[in-house]
């Protein structure tokens, strides 16, 4: 179980998150959605320890992890897929998957993980994770590094962004599978209706505050908005 208590985050005198209270239960699939700049990524980073909250507490399985490092949280099996994946020089996809799993795996095992995210593995396994990879390819490798870890709490920040329609179906299958056999918590930041459809609960974030938590019906105003995905005032 993950519990956020009175989380506030201020940067450059700007209140980015305002008193967030949230309880996420095991074996559930959550989607955070909300307009650009509403603080979704910031909230996810606070859970992973990439940002430290200005005030408030983060509890994971009843342990206070507010002051734990990223590494400690990773070793407690919290996983985080970045919205914008990092690129390296000289580090290959295979290298990255090996440290994700924390043991030496064969290239065949690495290929199996990659094929889950729709990458034809043999072409990619020895490629460097550098900027010569396309945005969509990087995104899928990012997903693979998280799936490989089988986290107890998996956080995905807009996993569908940059992924083409064809692979998107494949991706939905990956998340459906995750939803079916996951023993932990899955938390996805997304605007995609088909991902929202799989959610057990949807959390709507607006202006750094939780506006609503519930099923898809809380978004009916948004999806009927004539301007499309934008929120209607």
Partner 1 sequence: MSSLLDKIINNKIEEADSYNIRENGKTIKRKENEYIKIVNKEDSKGIDIYVKENTLFGIIDIPVIISESRIKDVVYNDFHIGKNANIIIVAGCGIHNIKHKTSEHDGIHRFYLGKNSKVRYVEKHYGEGSGNKVFNPITEAYLEEGSTLNIETVQIKGVDKTTRITKANLKENATLTINEKLYTEEKQYAKTDFIVNLNGENASAHVTSRSVATENSYQEFTSDVIGNNKSFAHISCDAIIKDNAQVKAIPTIYAKDASANLIHEAAIGKIAGQQLTKLMTLGLTLKEAEKMIIEGFLK
Q: Which residues bind ligand ATP (CB under 6 A)?
A: 11-12, 16, 36-42, 83
E-strand ranges in the chain read: 2-11, 14-24, 29-33, 55-60, 63-64, 78-81, 153-157, 185-189, 201-206, 209-214
Binding partner of residue 57 among Mg ion, ligand ATP, partner 1, none, CB under 5 to 8 Å per kind?
none
b/e burial code for range 97-106 (CB count within 10 A of at least 16 → b): bbebbeeebe
- Taking each helix axis as running N to C, give the angle between helix 93-101 and helix 107-116, from 0 to 180 degrees, rounded to the nearest 10: 90
Q: How far is the CB of 106 from partner 1 (least distance, A)?
A: 19
Q: According to the binding rule CB under 8 A, does residue 109 interact with partner 1?
A: no
- Cβ count within 10 A of residue 34: 25
Binding partner of residue 42 among Mg ion, partner 1, ligand ATP, none, CB under 5 to 8 Å per kind?
ligand ATP
Could you tell me which residues are beta bridge partners of residue 185? 153
Could you tell me which residues are beta bridge partners of residue 13? none
How big is the CA angle at 198 (ends 193 and 202), to the nearest 5 degrees?
75
Residues 31 to 90: which contact partner 1 by CB under 8 A? 48, 50, 69-71, 74-75, 79-80, 82, 84-90
Binding partner of residue 95 among ligand ATP, Mg ion, partner 1, none, CB under 5 to 8 Å per kind?
partner 1
Between 83 and 115, CB nearer to Mg ion: 83
Q: According to the binding rule CB under 8 A, does residue 99 interact with partner 1?
A: yes
Binding partner of residue 74 among partner 1, Mg ion, ligand ATP, none, CB under 5 to 8 Å per kind?
partner 1
Residues whose CB is less than 8 angstroms from the CB of residue 178 and which lie 6 or more positions away in sequence, other chains included: 29, 147, 154, 186
Question: Can you give the binding site for Mg ion, defined by CB under 5 A?
Answer: 41, 83
Question: Can you give the binding site for partner 1, defined by CB under 8 A?
Answer: 48, 50, 69-71, 74-75, 79-80, 82, 84-91, 95-96, 99-100, 102, 145, 149
């Amino acid at each position: 179980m993950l519990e956020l208590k009175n989380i506030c985050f201020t940067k450059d005198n700007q209140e980015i998150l305002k008193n967030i209270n949230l309880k996420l239960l095991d074996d559930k699939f959550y989607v955070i959605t909300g307009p650009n700049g509403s603080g979704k990524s910031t909230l996810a980073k606070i859970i992973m320890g990439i940002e430290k909250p200005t005030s408030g507490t983060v509890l994971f399985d009843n342990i206070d992890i507010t002051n734990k490092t990223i590494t400690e949280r990773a070793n407690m099996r919290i996983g985080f897929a970045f919205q914008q994946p990092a690129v390296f020089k000289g580090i290959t996809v295979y290298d990255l998957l090996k440290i994700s799993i924390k043991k030496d795996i064969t290239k065949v095992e690495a290929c199996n993980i990659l094929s889950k995210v729709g990458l034809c593995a043999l072409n990619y396994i020895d490629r460097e994770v550098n900027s010569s990879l396309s945005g969509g390819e990087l995104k899928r490798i990012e997903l693979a590094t998280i799936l490989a870890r089988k986290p107890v709490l998996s956080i995905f920040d807009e996993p569908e962004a940059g992924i083409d329609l064809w692979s998107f179906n494949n991706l939905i299958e990956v998340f459906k599978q995750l939803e079916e056999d996951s023993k932990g918590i899955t938390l996805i930041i997304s605007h995609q209706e088909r991902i929202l459809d799989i959610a057990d609960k949807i959390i709507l974030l607006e202006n750094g505050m939780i506006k609503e938590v519930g099923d898809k019906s809380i978004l009916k105003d948004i999806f009927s908005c004539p301007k499309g995905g934008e929120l209607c005032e």
